[in-house]
Structures are given as structure tokens and as C-alpha cells.
């Protein structure tokens, strides 16, 4: 897991200082125009400043109130800028940590004539070949074309144990910034400088290249619309006020406007987005775009690989079940021979069991001209060809086809054994020699602790989990039942996976999956959220829209939660912001018209001291609430796994009802303080 990224204190003085400077720089109208709500506040502040200068020029006495209003209006803008700058600052700090992994490295570029040339890593282009030897840093993301090496990837993953990387197969991808510990490798660079995964992620967390996500755009439109409605309400209030014999000064009108428009959410919106990306990086996930993170919150179907996600590691051989006419020892012997070169955990567990139960030892097969047949996703079996012997082990249907194609028949008894094992939750592994089935190896799967509860939570959130496994349907059903997944796809080929994703999508569902192999790439690309394991192939990483640096498949569930939390934070603060307006009306409206209609003070339910203190308190509350909510915006609202109706009830209560009540208390308190200080 991640060790290098600690959760940063929100009030890190370093970030605070930089953010304060950045907040001032962001006052530039061109920057402000990106945020329509705060842009209106800035224009309002400018108007009151001009009015202040005019009043001062004509020597109007007692400008204390006007000065304070103007000051707090500017502070409102600055606080919003500050929130955004802080989120960006935290992102930058995060990015720096990532960047440290790519200190000024040099690369040994392989020239076409075979010589090597030392060049800075930054000059490497896609498809360049580089040589990396023990002790050197890998200069860029790439794929090993030759060699095997142990690589220290702790800089990226935080995992201190070195991993083996080798050419060909599913472990050929290497990441720039990681270090080769032993041996040497030739690496083909797979991305141009500035376009590596890390580069993109750094740009995203820094907020520089952040594009607004679809929901953020929609929310921005809503906020802009509300701003226009309030602008209208305030601008037309002046004629009504004149008609009523109570014309209002510009300070009061701007104060009313700024208090009504949704500055709280407007000021925190981009901070929320940046912080969401930041949280993802903290969990060691790199996302290609904010859009992918938002899509994660919408996911309705999760495709989870059984192995590693649902079950603990790998299956273990627990029993040899021979067919009649075959002794257990014969079966164990055949199974052991076929597994000697099988480096999979299942293969190794067969060798172990054969040794424990029957004392069959490892033997040297080189002199028997043994040819090992590796497992492939298409044949779904492996084995060995010896002089005169052909032993295969594999999934029941694959072995059955193999036996039948060799002219043999499968006895009915076998089916009974296979089903018996499958029903008990085990995996039957058939062993056959030539055209004759010998028996079955019982492989047992162990379901991870706590995973059942996790799936129940997902179900409550309306997310369907589908287990993907190469097992036969019976085995799959048994494990599916034990783990509590909603559905399973047994004997899954990459094509089956692809079909499943497409079917779910045609029903209008969003699908998320994890994958690491090259044959996962099409499905990763098709899925709405495709999380590639960092340990996987380059093709898989490029096809997905996220990379999990820790390569833990359960991470997908975390990603979904982060996506949901991002949207919830926006929704909650929008509701809070709008609900706040009620109290502000009760503070400002009576204050505005108390002169013309003293009876309106009946609406002054908070009992605010004077009209000036009432207006000032509302403006101060409006500014301070932005700062007060910065931690919430950066942390995200608390996420709980419950149904949508439950979540809504909870959030409406906290942020809706709370949003109505909170400002009544806050404005009253500020009023007490400023009248005590004789500020108004």
C-alpha cells in the first residue's frame, strides 16, 4: 500500500502561504471570468470601491460602514480564490512527490548501429530503445523488449519488495522513475515526453489542465442561472424601493446581491474538483481525466476478477480423485509430471500435495525430451509431452474436448466427481493422458474475509457486482454464493467479458472493471471505467482510463466511492449555499427598508442591533463561510454506503435544513461581536 503519500494537514503553512499569494494573482478578470458567480462578486466589489472613492472625494463623513462592506466584499472574492489555490497547492505538493521519482535521469539510447549514446531522459521519444542496467533509473514509461530484471517500484507504488519485469507476457511494462536492481533490460519507450501517465496525472492534480467534468459544467450553468435570477431580483428592487420612497445606496444593493448569489458553492466548486483528483492520487490511483472519476460515481455494474479480488490469492490442490481403474498414485504421478514446469500457484500446489501424500519427488525431465505446453486462455489447459506420453490438465470442458479429439471417451463417472467438487466450492482440474481421462485434482479457493460485507454495501448503493472467472459454472456459482456477488461469468474468455460489458451498456448501465493482461485491453477500453493494474502490460494501461499503482483489484470499490463523494460534495454545498439565502433575507430586507417602513423590523427575527450591523453581519458571514467550508470541500462530505433515498434524506437534513438554520446563528453571533467592537 501507499506509504509515501501521507495525508497532508489541511493547514500546512507552506501551502497556505503560497495559496494566499496565488489568491491575489487570481483576481485578474481573465481568470475570474471562468467562474461566473465570483466574477459577479468581483464586479460588485469594484463598483462599491468606485462609489467609495467618489464618496471620499466629495468628503462625505462617516464612511466606516461603506469601507467595511467594500473590504468584506473583496475578501469574499479572495477567500474563494484562496480555496481554489489551496486545492491546487495540495495538488502541486502531491505532484512534487510524484515528480521526485523522475529526478534528472539520463538514458542510454540505443542507436541503430548498436552503439549507445547518453542523452537526458527528457529527450526520449516514443519508440526509442534504451538500455537500463542494474542500479540505473528507468528513464521513461516503456515496454521491455529484451531481458529480465528485478525492479524497485517503491517510488511509484510504495511497495518495498522488488518486482520481476521481463520481456513478453503480462509483466513487460515498466514505469519511468523506477529503478533496476539487478540484471539489465532493453526498453522500448512508449510515450513522448510530457505525455506519460505521470505527466498527465501531475497536470490534473495541479489543476492546470483541469477540464470541467460534465456534471460540473451542468452545475455551473445552474449557478450562473441562479446568479442572473438574483441579479434581476436585486436590480429591479431599486425601482420598487424608489416607488416606496426608500431608495438604496449601491453598497447595500451590492451587499444584498453578493449575499444572495451562491458564492459558497461558486467559490468552492473548483476546489472540490481538484481535491477529488487529489484523493484519488492519495490512494495511489492515476486517472486520465476528471470525467473518468465522475463516471466512477455512476457505475452500476462492477466486473471483478475472482482471483485476487474475491478470493485470497490462488487455489490450492487438496485432493486427487481418480476414476475407477486408476489408482490415486497414478493420478498423482501424472498430475505432478504435468505440473513440474508449471509455475502457477496451482501447479506448484499440485507438486507439493503429490510430495506430501505420496512422496513423489521432483525429477529431471530434460533427458526424456519433455516439451511443456503452457496454459493459454484459448486452449485453457497445460501439460507436458514426454517420449510417448502426452499429459494434459485443465478445465473440464477443455480436457473433455481434448480426450474426445484424441478418440477417447469421457466416462459418466467423471461428470459426477466434477460436479461434486464444483458444488462444494472447489475447482476440478481434470488430468488426462493420451485419450484417457485419469481423474480430477480438487483445487480449493479461499474467499477473502470481509468481502461479503463489502458487496452488501455495494448492493445497498445500487451497484451490481459480477464475478469474472475462468472456472466452470458450478464452481463459479458456489464461490459466488459464498462471496455474495450478484452474478458471475464463468469460463470467461476475453470475448465473453467484452460481450457482457456491451450488454450491460446497451441497458444503459455504466460498467467498471479491472484488468492487467493485453487480452483485457479491448474490454478495458470498452468499459466506462477501466482500471489497469500497474503491474500489467502497457497495452492494458493505455486502454484503461485509470491505473492502480498498487495493483490491488479491490481498489475499484474505493474509486467508485471517491467518484460518488465528489458529486455529493458539490450537491451538498449547493444545497447549503441556496438554503443560506433565507436567513440573509431576514437580515438584510428589514435593514434596508427599516427607514421607510419601521414596521418591517418585525421581520428582524434575529434581533440584529442596527440596520448597518445587520447588513455587515450578513456580508461577513457570507465571506467567512467560504473559508469555514474549505476543509469540507477538500476532504469531501462523509460518504456512507446506503441507498440513494437514505443518502438524500441524510444530506438534505444536514445541508438543507442545516443550511437554513446555520446562518441565523452565525449572523446573530457576528452581529453581537461587531456591535461589541463598535464596528457598526
Partner 1 sequence: MTANGWLQIALYLALIAAITPLTGRFMTRVFNRERTWLDPVLRPVERLIYRSTGVDEAHEMRWTEYAMAMLLFSVVSMLLLYAIERLQYWLPWNPQHLPGVPPELAFNTAASFTTNTNWQAYAGETTMSYLTQMAGLAYHNFASAAVGIVLAIAFIRGIAQKEKDALGNFWVDLVRCLLWVLLPLCLVFSLVLVSQGVVQNLRPYDTATLVDPQTVTTTGQAGTTQTQVVRSQVIAQGPVASQEAIKELGTNGGGFFNANSAHPFENPTPLSNYLEMLAIFALASGLTWTLGDMTGSRGHGWAVWAAMAFLFLAGVTTAYWAEAQGNPLLTAAGADQHVTALCPGGNMEGKEVRFGIADSALFATVTTDASCGAVNSLHDSYTPIGGLVPLVNIMLGEVIFGGVGAGMYGMLVFIVLAVFIAGLMVGRTPEYLGKKIEAYDVKMAMLYVLIFPLVILTLAAVSVLFPFGTSSLGNAGPHGLSEILYAFSSGTGNNGSAFAGLNANTPWYDLSIGLATLVGRFLMIVPMLAIAGSLGRKKRVPPSSGTFPVTTPLFATLLVGVVVIVGALTFFPALSLGPVVEHLLMLKGQVF
Site for partner 1 in 177-216 (CB under 8 A): 214-215
Under the phi-then-psi rule, with left for phi > 0, alpha for psi from -120 to 50, and beta for the rest, what region is 51? alpha
Q: How many CB atoms lie within 10 A of CB 195?
A: 12
Q: How far is the CB of 327 from partner 1 (least distance, A)?
A: 53
Residues 604-643, one symbol each (x = binds partner 1 by CB under 8 A, - = not), give: -----------------------------------x---x
Cβ nearer to partner 1, comparing 283 with 564: 564
User: Taking CB under 8 A as the rule, does residue 648 contact partner 1?
Assistant: yes
- Three cell numbers, residue 62: 462617516
Cβ nearer to partner 1, comparing 169 with 214: 214
Phi, psi torsion values for 52, nearest 5 degrees? -65, -45
Distance, CA of 170 to CA of 534 (rounded, Å): 11
H or E element that contains 303: strand 301-305
Inter-CA distances, 662 with 250, 586, 626, 644, 666, Å:
27, 13, 13, 25, 6
User: Taking CB under 8 A as the rule, does residue 1 contact partner 1?
Assistant: no
User: Taking CB under 8 A as the rule, does residue 486 contact partner 1?
Assistant: no
622 near 271, Cβ under 8 Å? no
Distance, CA of 624 to CA of 630 (rounded, Å): 10
Cβ nearer to partner 1, comparing 164 with 221: 221
Q: Which of 104, 243, 361, 405 binds partner 1 (CB under 8 A)?
A: 243
Q: Which of 12, 166, 192, 298 binds partner 1 (CB under 8 A)?
A: 298
Q: Which of 68, 178, 534, 651 binds partner 1 (CB under 8 A)?
A: 651
SS3 sequence of 182-208: ECEEEEEECCCCCCCHHHHHHHHHHCC
537 near 515, Cβ under 8 Å? no
Q: Which of 204, 304, 626, 647 binds partner 1 (CB under 8 A)?
A: 647
Which residues carry out catalysis?
305
Inter-CA distances, 47 with 66, 256, 511, Å:
12, 14, 50
Cβ nearer to partner 1, comparing 223 with 489: 223
Q: Which of 20, 352, 652, 672 binds partner 1 (CB under 8 A)?
A: 652
Distance, CA of 275 to CA of 207 (rounded, Å): 9
Cβ nearer to partner 1, comparing 566 with 616: 566
Site for partner 1 in 565-584 (CB under 8 A): 565-568, 570-572, 574-575, 578-579, 581-582
Site for partner 1 in 445-474 (CB under 8 A): 459-464
Q: Which of 242, 605, 665, 673 binds partner 1 (CB under 8 A)?
A: 242
Q: Which of 16, 145, 241, 624 binds partner 1 (CB under 8 A)?
A: 241
Inter-CA distances, 545 with 19, 493, 496, 521, Å:
30, 22, 21, 11
Q: How far is the CB of 29 from partner 1 (least distance, A)?
A: 24
Site for partner 1 in 499-538 (CB under 8 A): 507-509
Site for partner 1 in 299-318 (CB under 8 A): 300
Q: How far is the CB of 350 from partner 1 (least distance, A)?
A: 42
Helices 451-460 and 473-483 pack at an angle, to 10 degrees, of 80
Q: Which of 236, 378, 416, 424 binds partner 1 (CB under 8 A)?
A: 236
Size, binding site for partner 1 by CB under 8 A: 75
Q: Please enumerate in sequence order all residues whose Cβ is within 8 A of that of 542, keeping only pairs 6 or more positions apart, or say none.
A: 190, 521
Distance, CA of 470 to CA of 66 (rounded, Å): 74
Q: How far is the CB of 580 from partner 1 (least distance, A)?
A: 11
Q: How far is the CB of 531 from partner 1 (least distance, A)?
A: 18
Amino acid at each position: 500500500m501507499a506509504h509515501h503519500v501521507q495525508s497532508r494537514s489541511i493547514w500546512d503553512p507552506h501551502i497556505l502561504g503560497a495559496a494566499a499569494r496565488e489568491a491575489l494573482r487570481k483576481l485578474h478578470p481573465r481568470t475570474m471570468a471562468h467562474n461566473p458567480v465570483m466574477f459577479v462578486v468581483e464586479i460588485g466589489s469594484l463598483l462599491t470601491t468606485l462609489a467609495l472613492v467618489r464618496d471620499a472625494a466629495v468628503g462625505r463623513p462617516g464612511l466606516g460602514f461603506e469601507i467595511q462592506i467594500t473590504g468584506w466584499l473583496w475578501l469574499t472574492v479572495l477567500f474563494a480564490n484562496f480555496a481554489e489555490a489551496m486545492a491546487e497547492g495540495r495538488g502541486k505538493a502531491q505532484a512534487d512527490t510524484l515528480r521526485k521519482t523522475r529526478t534528472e535521469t539520463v538514458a542510454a539510447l540505443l542507436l541503430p548501429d548498436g552503439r549507445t549514446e547518453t542523452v537526458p531522459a527528457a529527450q526520449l521519444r516514443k519508440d526509442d530503445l534504451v538500455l537500463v542496467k542494474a542500479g540505473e533509473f528507468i528513464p521513461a514509461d516503456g515496454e521491455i523488449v529484451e531481458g529480465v530484471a528485478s525492479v524497485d517500484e517503491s517510488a511509484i507504488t510504495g511497495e518495498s519488495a522488488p518486482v520481476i519485469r521481463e520481456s513478453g507476457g503480462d509483466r513487460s511494462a515498466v514505469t519511468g522513475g523506477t529503478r533496476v536492481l539487478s540484471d539489465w533490460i532493453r526498453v522500448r519507450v512508449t510515450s513522448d515526453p510530457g505525455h506519460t501517465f505521470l505527466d498527465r496525472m501531475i497536470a490534473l492534480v495541479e489543476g492546470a489542465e483541469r477540464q470541467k467534468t460534465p456534471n460540473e459544467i451542468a452545475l455551473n450553468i445552474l449557478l450562473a442561472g441562479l446568479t442572473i435570477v438574483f441579479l434581476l431580483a436585486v436590480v429591479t428592487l431599486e425601482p420598487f424601493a424608489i416607488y416606496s420612497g426608500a431608495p438604496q445606496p449601491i453598497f447595500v444593493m451590492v451587499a444584498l446581491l453578493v449575499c444572495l448569489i451562491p458564492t459558497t458553492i461558486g467559490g468552492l466548486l473548483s476546489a472540490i474538483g481538484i481535491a477529488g483528483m487529489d484523493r484519488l492520487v492519495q490512494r495511489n490511483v492515476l486517472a486520465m481525466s476528471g470525467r473518468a472519476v465522475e463516471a466512477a460515481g455512476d457505475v452500476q455494474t462492477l466486473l471483478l476478477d475472482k482471483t485476487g479480488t474475491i478470493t485470497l490469492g490462488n487455489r490450492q490442490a487438496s485432493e486427487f480423485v481418480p476414476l475407477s481403474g486408476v489408482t490415486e498414485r497414478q493420478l498423482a504421478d501424472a498430475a505432478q509430471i504435468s505440473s513440474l514446469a508449471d509455475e502457477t500457484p496451482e501447479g506448484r500446489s499440485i507438486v507439493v500435495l503429490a510430495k506430501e501424500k505420496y512422496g513423489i519427488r521432483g525429477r529431471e525431465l530434460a533427458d526424456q525430451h519433455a516439451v511443456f505446453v503452457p496454459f493459454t486462455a484459448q486452449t485453457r489447459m497445460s501439460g507436458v509431452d514426454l517420449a510417448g506420453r502426452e499429459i494434459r490438465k485443465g478445465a473440464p470442458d477443455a480436457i473433455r474436448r481434448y480426450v474426445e479429439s484424441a478418440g477417447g471417451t469421457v466416462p459418466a463417472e467423471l461428470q459426477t466427481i466434477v460436479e461434486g467438487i464444483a458444488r462444494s466450492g472447489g475447482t476440478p482440474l481434470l488430468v488426462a493422458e493420451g485419450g484417457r481421462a485419469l481423474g480430477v485434482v480438487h483445487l480449493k479457493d479461499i474467499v477473502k474475509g470481509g468481502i461479503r460485507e463489502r458487496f452488501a454495501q455495494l448492493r445497498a448503493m445500487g451497484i451490481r457486482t459480477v464475478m469474472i472467472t475462468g472456472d466452470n459454472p458450478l464452481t463459479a456459482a458456489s464461490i459466488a454464493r459464498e462471496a455474495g456477488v450478484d452474478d458471475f461469468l464463468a469460463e470467461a474468455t476475453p470475448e465473453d467479458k467484452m460481450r457482457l460489458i456491451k450488454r450491460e451498456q446497451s441497458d444503459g448501465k455504466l460498467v467498471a472493471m479491472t484488468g492487467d493482461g493485453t487480452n483485457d485491453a479491448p474490454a478495458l477500453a470498452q468499459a466506462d471505467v477501466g482500471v489497469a493494474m500497474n503491474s500489467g502490460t502497457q497495452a492494458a494501461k493505455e486502454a484503461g482510463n485509470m491505473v492502480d499503482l498498487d495493483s490491488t483489484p479491490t481498489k475499484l470499490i474505493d474509486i467508485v466511492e471517491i467518484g460518488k463523494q465528489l458529486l455529493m460534495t458539490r450537491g451538498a454545498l449547493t444545497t447549503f449555499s441556496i438554503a443560506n439565502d433565507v436567513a440573509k433575507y431576514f437580515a438584510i430586507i428589514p435593514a434596508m427598508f427599516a427607514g421607510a417602513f419601521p414596521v418591517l423590523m418585525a421581520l428582524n427575527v434575529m434581533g440584529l442591533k442596527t440596520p448597518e450591523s445587520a447588513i455587515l453581519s450578513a456580508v461577513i458571514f457570507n465571506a467567512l463561510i467560504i473559508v469555514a467550508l474549505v476543509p469540507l470541500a477538500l476532504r469531501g462530505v462523509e460518504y456512507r454506503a446506503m441507498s440513494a433515498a437514505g443518502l438524500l434524506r441524510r444530506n438534505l437534513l444536514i445541508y438543507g435544513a442545516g443550511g437554513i438554520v446555520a446562518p441565523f446563528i452565525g449572523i446573530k453571533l457576528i452581529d453581537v461581536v461587531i456591535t461589541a467592537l463598535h464596528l457598526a
